[in-house]
Structure 1
Amino acid sequence: MKASNVELLAAYFTLSGDVYPFGPTEISPFSLRERAEAASAAGWKGMGLIHADLMATAQKLQMSEIGQIFADNGMKHLELEFLVDWYLDGDRRVASDKVRREILEAAGEIGARSLKVAAGLFDDAPPDLPRMRDEFAGVCRDAAQYGVQVVLEVQPFSNIKTLEHGLAIVEGANQPNGGLLLDQWHMVRGGITNPQIAAMPGRFIKSIELDDADRELNGSLWEDTIYHRKLCGEGSFDTPAFIRAVRTAGYDGPFGVEILSETFRRLPLQVMAQRAFDTTMRQFELAAEHPVAAG
């Protein structure tokens, strides 16, 4: 894949402005149209939306209008987030199922490509892999009705923190629209190496996210991930090597970019969109200068 053929997707928090996960609000201070126009002007081909922001936007616009904004601005790849508690019982599962219905119906109407899901955030208990496998398969079957793929994010502060556990779920579920989301920050901070990624069965890698950070943790894992990520190439991560690894595994879809930073998110929207795009594209230029990594 040449750098000129790469299509980038701005994950929700890359262009959401001064908000962050589980903060006082996750609703962007920028309108959807403002974000889509800034993304288009910078060169992005995709965007992400989070459930809270999507529902807030849907109070002002019809889903058909939301879809038209994306179409008008050349956003080919859309992703929605974030589903949690999809494998539990009780009140948390009831709330999760409500989000699942709302987000999948919206995804179908606007033509989203994927739904991001997570398991056991801030939970060190051993994962119930057979239950998660079966419940993940159920989410995939629901999503398939809307033409949506389901991507499970491996995260070091969750109870699915290894490729082995992630693959046990998605490979065991064996759904054509189900797989893993590999975010570079989570891979590096979780001690998952590029050779491990390159050796994965590529059919189970459904989504990729790029980002960067300092060599050492800044605070806790959670504080580091929501306050201190850096633009690609401005930290310690070897993003070109990560790109080569996922390509070696067989991934050939769009590349997401997720920048979570207390300084970056306060920049003007157009500046955020252009800087995140340009710094990421530079990594593909660097990756193209070297042979693809061996598995």
Structure 2
Amino acid sequence: MTERPELLASYWTIAGGAEPHTDREYSPIDFRDRVSAAARAGFRGMGIWHADLAHSLKRYTLTEMKRILDDHGIVHVELEFLTDWFVDGERRVASDQTRRMLLTAARTLGARHVKVGDFLRTPCPMPRLIESFARLCEDASEHGTRIGFELMPFSHIDSLAKALELVTGANAPNGGIVLDLWHIVKLGIPYQAVAEFPGSYIVGIEINDGRLRSMPDLVEETTQYRNLCGDGEFDVRGFVDIMLAAGYRGPWGIEVLSKALRQLPIEESTRRAHDTTLAQFPGLKK
């Protein structure tokens, strides 16, 4: 029988009415309530978005947040999302503020990694991107955490080859790639190619489901119409099988950005997210 996986509730899966790419990216559900619901559903990890972190810090200190996580058995903490860490000007100034907040939180919360990337396919020569990534990883190392660049269609790093060039060029022991099944499918990357990506550079894996034929607006589809595992057309079990065979043993994130899921009560959304994800692992059930 397959070893029971440790599942991580990615931020957007349990963020309730938070809206991506708006000024309301923070969850209307209190941090303690989300942690409690995630733990009761069976999750061992959870994600915190930068805007939600800033919002939660208005009520809790980092030490209090850490205590809440520990009291509920949450051992895998994912912080996200940092952009513009490789540009100049006002965007970089804002990015550096977020960077300091995330890395400070990573130290106190014991975050396993911080997710970074780009949503705007911002032009940047690869040598500069590599250098900036290396410096970011060095900064993160001083705060006791890792950096995971998320490969996606909206980024300059939109292939396994570019991802490998980035991480090998940076040569940072705490730097790697976050692989999201959604982006893998939408980029048309074969599962076998993903399995052949060096495991030492895989910081995290996220799974979800959806339609194989993309909608005209991929941004809208990505942020509004993802499905829980088993509710779409992706071969989620096939992906899980091949990555287990390749040796991945880290926590599995479940990242579903869905306007339908955001309408559900937190207890229902966390339970459904956990149970449908666990069902993708051979020989396991709730």
TM-score, length basis structure 1: 0.93
Q: Which residue in the other structure is 2:181 paired with?
A: 184
Q: Secondary structure at the match of 2:271?
A: helix
Equivalent pair of 1:151/1:207 in contact (CA under 8 Å): yes
The CA deviation at 1:242 is 1.1
2 CA distance for matches of 1:89 and 1:200?
31
1:122 aligns with 2:120: yes
2 CA distance for matches of 1:230 and 1:43?
19
Unaligned runs of 5+ residues in structure 1 are: 289-295
The CA deviation at 1:19 is 1.6
2 CA distance for matches of 1:213 and 1:63?
35
1 CA distance for matches of 2:280 and 2:91?
40
Question: C-alpha offsets along residues 18-55 of structure 1, whole Å, 9 cap, x if unaligned?
Answer: 12321241110100110011001100000000111111
Q: Which residue in the other structure is 1:41 paired with?
A: 40
Q: Secondary structure at the match of 1:79?
A: strand
Q: Secondary structure at the match of 2:279?
A: helix
Q: Which residue in the other structure is 1:80 paired with?
A: 79
Equivalent pair of 1:243/1:287 in contact (CA under 8 Å): no
Q: Secondary structure at the match of 1:240?
A: helix
Give the root-mean-square deviation of aligned CA atoms.
Answer: 1.6
Amino acid at match of 2:263: R
The CA deviation at 1:170 is 0.9
2 CA distance for matches of 1:75 and 1:268?
21
Amino acid at match of 1:200: F
Q: Give runs of aligned pairs for residues 36-185 of structure 1, distance below 5 A.
A: 36-119=35-118, 121-123=119-121, 125=123, 127-185=124-182
2 CA distance for matches of 1:115 and 1:132?
17
Equivalent pair of 1:157/1:221 in contact (CA under 8 Å): no
Q: Which residue in the other structure is 1:246 paired with?
A: 243
Q: Secondary structure at the match of 2:237?
A: helix
The CA deviation at 1:124 is 7.1
Q: Which residue in the other structure is 1:237 paired with?
A: 234
Equivalent pair of 2:181/2:206 in contact (CA under 8 Å): yes
Segments ≥4 residues shifted beyond 6 Å? none
The CA deviation at 1:286 is 6.2
Equivalent pair of 2:116/2:149 in contact (CA under 8 Å): yes
Q: Which residue in the other structure is 2:270 paired with?
A: 273
Aligned length: 285
2 CA distance for matches of 1:124 and 1:105?
26
The CA deviation at 1:217 is 1.6
Identity in percent: 42
Question: C-alpha offsets along residues 241-267 of structure 1, whole Å, 9 cap, x if unaligned?
Answer: 111232343321000010111111100
